[in-house]
Amino acid sequence: MGLFCNGFSLFVMVCSMAVVASGNFHQDFDLTWGDRRAKIFNGGQLLSLSLDKVSGSGFQSKKEYLFGRIDMQLKLVAGNSAGTVTAYYLSSQGPTHDEIDFEFLGNLSGDPYILHTNVFTQGKGNREQQFYLWFDPTRNFHTYSIIWNPQHIIFLVDSVPIRVFKNAESIGVPFPKSQPMRIYSSLWNADDWATRGGLVKTDWTKAPFNAYYRNFKANACTWSYGASSCGSKPSSAFSDGAWKTNELDAPSRRRLRWVQKYFMIYNYCTDLRRFPQGPPPECK
C-alpha cells in the first residue's frame, strides 16, 4: 500500500492509503437476499449461492469503490444450468447508475456457458459483448477480474484480457468515473431469456443449483463520506503495474486479439441490424 496526499476536486479528499483487501467474506460482504441460500463457510474463505424454485440468492460488498482492480474466483453451476444466470458486477445506485457486468448464462449439459459483459454509464447500457470460455468453468475455480481506472475498463479471465472499454468522453460518450460502486453477485432464474433466448427453460428437477466463490481481492480506492481513499489521482496510488499505464502491453494485446477472434460470439459494435444508422460512437 502506498501513502499519498491529495488536493481538492468536487469533494474534499483525504490523505489515506490505497486499500488492498484479500478477502474474508465475513468481513467484506453482506448476504443480502435468498433466506439462507447464501452461505459463508471455511472461516470466511468460501461463499456459496444457491437457487431453487422458490428463490435465488445474492450478496454485496460492505464497501464502495471508485476505481480499482477487483478479482474474484468463481466456480459456476455444474451440469444442466440452462435458465440460470450467475451475475457478478460493480454497480452504483439510482436511475443514472453506472455498472460493469459479468453475467454467466447457463446452458444444457455439455453445451458451453456464455459470458455476457456490459457497461452502463449514466443509466444506459446496450454495450453487450458475449464470449465462450476456453475451459469448463464448472470444474474448477477461475479468476474473473475488472480493472477500472479513469482511462479504461478491462475485463479479464484468469488474467487474460477479453474486453477493453476506453474512456471516449472526448467524443461525447459518458464514462463511469464519478459514482462509487459496490460489488454485487447473485444467482437467479432467468429462463425467459438466458438460454437460447428463453427457448430452454430451467429444469427444476436438478435444483438446487449452486455457485461458489473464493479468493476475493480488491486493490482499489474505497469511498466513504464523500471522499476517496485514493484522493484525486487514483492511478498513482497502486503498486499494480496495470494502474501505471493507460494501455495493455504487447503480450496482453495479443491475448485480447486471440480471445476476440476465437471466442467472441456477439459484439454490439458489429450488429448492423440493431444499429442500422451505424454503430455507437465508441465503436468507431
Compute the distance between CA of residue 250 and CA of residue 192 in angstroms, rounded to an integer: 41
User: Is residue 195 in a domain?
Assistant: yes
Structural domain boundaries enclosing 33: 25-229+246-270
Report the predicted TM-score, pTM, of the whole model to 2 decimal places. Answer: 0.89
* Annotated active-site residue in 99, 128, 169, 282: 99
Provide the pLDDT confidence category of residue 244 given band limits of 50, 70 and 90.
very low
User: Is residue 236 in a domain?
Assistant: no
Give the CATH number, domain containing residue 141: 2.60.120.200
DSSP readout, 228-245? ETTTT-GGGG--SGGGS-
User: Is residue 86 in a domain?
Assistant: yes
User: Is residue 280 in a domain?
Assistant: no
Cell of 30: 453482506
User: Is residue 239 in a domain?
Assistant: no
Tally of structural domains, the chain? 1
* Annotated active-site residue in 103, 128, 169, 247: 103
**pLDDT (mean) for 202-227:** 92
DSSP letter (8 states) at residue 42? T
User: Is residue 11 in a domain?
Assistant: no
H or E element, residue 257: helix 250-262
Round the CA-based radius of gyration of the chain to a whole number and report it. Answer: 19
Give the per-residue pLDDT at 118: 98
User: Is residue 281 in a domain?
Assistant: no
128 is catalytic: no
pLDDT digits (tens, 9 = 90+) for 145-160: 999 999 999 999 999 9
User: Is residue 251 in a domain?
Assistant: yes
**pLDDT (mean) for 2-7:** 31
169 is catalytic: no
pLDDT digits (tens, 9 = 90+) for 18-47: 555 567 999 999 999 999 999 999 999 999
3-class SS of residue 243: helix
